[in-house]
Structure 1
Amino acid sequence: MNLIILFLVAILSLVLGYLLRYLYGKKFLTSCEMQAKKILEDAKKTAEEEIRKAKQDAKYIIEREKAEFERSTREERQELLSWEKRLRHKEESLDKKYEILERKEKELYNKENRLKHEIFKIEEEKKLLHQQQEKQRQLLEKISGLTQEEAKKILLQSLEEEVRNEFALKLKKYEDEFKETVDKRAKEILACAMQRVASEVAIDNTTTIIPIPDELKGRIIGREGRNVRVFEQLTGVDVIVDDTPECIVLSSFDPVRREIAKIAMEKLVQDSRIQPARIEEIVNKTKEEFEEHVKKIGEEAAMEVGVMGLHPEILKLLGKLKFRTSFGQNQLQHTKEVAIIAAAIAGELGADINFCKRAGLLHDIGKAVSHEAEGTHHQISADIAKRYGESEKMINAILSHHEGIEEPKSVEAFILAAADAISASRPGARQDTVEHYIRRIEKIEEIAKSFRGVENVYAVYAGREVRVMVKPNEVSDAQLKLLAYDIAKKIEKELDYPGQIKVVVIREVRVEDYAK
């Protein structure tokens, strides 16, 4: 019974479940259909809206592109019209030019024909003229008795002599004008330069005076002259103690010894312990310190002139120049003078002032070692400058500051040579022995007399000028300049002398006649 009930319940449950499923599925299907219908309607509306927007956009784009196309087409049409107008204008211009060219071509053709005709006429006339010239030449040769070549030679000789005389006169005129202008400007520059140089002494002597209290003179002499003898033996300098108040004199031909003795004597005077052992100690110490003293002198000289950056070895050599002389002129003083004068001249001429100062200090540096090296002081100076890094321009200036070694290659080199000559030739700068002076005067006159046509020679102004009187029948006015040049060059070649020598050639013409 229970089994039947359970079976019925199961069947009933199945039927009920099926019914419920059917009812729920139908409802769900209806709902889905409604949603699908709604989606389709929405999609249709959206599609219609998109189609409408797309149509509007397409219409806008079509209208815009159409407007752009019309604008572009209009611009191109205008440009084409403009090109067409320009081409038409060029075509018209070319047509006109072509017409002008055709007209000119016709004119040129006509001119060419006329020229050909004229050339033909000229050629005919030339032939006729040549025939007439040949007849005239033959007639002239027959009358004069000279051939054409002989007549031409005589004419050329006459013209050559005339041109030479005219050229000599013009050359002399221009030379005189040039000399007047150059001399005036040179005197102004040199006067300005020399005014800046004021030397304390003219020449170096062989003695040095040391101020000393009179009460110390006896102590310096020592017992029986012992102190003086020791000092003289150690320094190689003569000590002169006389009645001259407040001083003693050191005498020596060697400036280095004299300077060492001067420094040592000044130290002894300050120390007051004057006895042989102390003298020997101070003299030996002074000799050891002398190199540093020399370098200090060089540094002071460079600073005084205003030259910086010199090599320490060059400064030492510069200091040694204080103890070298040339014709009695102190070489360090000469070097500083040259630097100052060269700088002054460079300032007037617009040249390199610093270079000229440096060249003035270095130009005679070789004289500080001239006894230690072979060669002239120019070459030694140039070698030293090159060794310590000076420029090629500086080396050329050093080598060329005296004639005969190398030609100057810059304005500064010429300025250095001029400054050196001014310093050497200023009054009182250098001295000479009477015997050497007389020999030099005689040699100058002898050289001048060796030339043909020289009648008398007179050396004046202490040998700084030589006046040469020539025979007027042997030497013409045109030859005077060449004779003066030859005499000057021979003097330069055969003589050594300070400064420069002026050569003056004088030709005096006297014409005599008698009144009857």
Structure 2
Amino acid sequence: MKINVGFSVLMGFLIGIITSYFFGRKTILRKYIQLLEKANFQAKKIIKNAEKEGESIKKKKMLQAKEKFIELKSIHEKDINLRERKIIDTENKTREKENRLSKEIEIYFKRNNRLEIQIHDYENKYKILKKKQEEFRNLHVKKIELLEKISNYSSEEAKNELIEILKNEAKTKAQSYIQSIIEESHLTAKMEAKKIVIQAIQRIGTEQAMENAVSVFNIESDDVKGRIIGREGRNIRALEKATGVEIIVDDTPEAILLSCFNPIRREVARLSLHKLIIDGRIHPARIEEIVEKTEKQIEEEIIEIGKKNIIDLGIHGIHPELIRMVGRMKYRSSYGQNLLQHSREVAHLSGILASELGLNAKLAKRAGFLHDIGKVPESESELPHAVLGMQWAEKYGENIEVCNAIGSHHDEIEMKVLISPIVQISDSISGARPGARRNSFESYSKRLKNLEDIALSFNGVNKAFAIQAGRELRVLVESDKIDDKKAFQLSCEITEKIKNEMTYPGQIKVTVIRETRAVQIAR
């Protein structure tokens, strides 16, 4: 009984479990079905929303695509229009060129036709001319044959006889013409010679020449003048003949003038007179003896002076003849400036400038010292002193650079070496410094004033200043009246007027200065 009860309980429990399982499954299935339905509903809703959004996006993209298409289409149409215009323009240009070429071709053919016609005419004319020439030759031959028959002369004989006749006539006419020229030249020769001499005197005779050509010999008393003159002037004549110096004995108290363009001769005459007066024996024989001794003494002194100056400057290897010329510089002056002292200054300046520029200072000093040796010739020469000095330097074996510097220091020849402008600059510095060269103050100031007056005579010139001892003229012009082109033209005109109206040594540099100023004041 107990077993049956337990069994029945167990069975009941199992049945309960089974029933509860089935009931629970139904509820689960029901819930699952409900969830599926909800999910389907939501999925359908999402799909609908997605379809709506897709449609809206599609519409937007379609609109954007249409807008882009329209934009690209307009750009494309513009490009096409531009290309069409270019094509039309090129077509028009080609048409114009075709028309022009067709016209030119027509003109060319017309000209060719004209030329052909002209050539044809010329050919016809040339043929006619040839025929005429042939006819003329035939007539000429016939005339010659007829003349030969009449005169019994061949053409060659007649030609030779005619030539002889013409020669004789020409000779007689030439002789008469030459005779008339000779007679006329005899009549006018003296007059022309006087004119030439007067012109030479006018060009050369200056106040400075008198100052440089006269030396004053001082004496203790005027009684010595009679002894120097001698009986009937024999002593003074002998002295002038021996020295080549004109001795002027006038009323000037305690002074005798020695006049000669050669300074060495003047020095010989001065020393000879000094020795004769000390000696007391003044007669022609003694004069000749003293002058001869003095000339030898001066010659030795010249060589010693040359050697001393060359040693002082540290220059070596100079030819003895050039040393003698250097010594002669002591007795030569240029514008009142002693030539030897001037050459020493130029040598020092050239050496300093060359060393500052890193050039050969010894070579520059040598060229500067020898640059004016052409001013002391023993005989007169027509060559400029720079060219003459260069020729002497070449003759006595000087360096090519030194020769070029000597020859080009006044721009007579082209400068080919660097020391040439250095020597030229040093020469200008030595000659242009205040007090170096003697000029009378009146003539100097007058020349400067004339320079300034010439510049001020032109329109537009505001101020003019003569500087560098009259070697440069600076002209200030008004900028509103004179432009840059007129400034250059004005400098040329002033230079030309100075050349025509003034006499001056060396060269004058004309500088025209034009400036524009803008001034404002801040207050």
In the superposition, the TM-score normalised over structure 2's length comes to 0.48
**RCO greater where, 1 or 2, for CA within 8 Å and sep 6 or more?**
1
In the superposition, the TM-score normalised over structure 1's length comes to 0.48
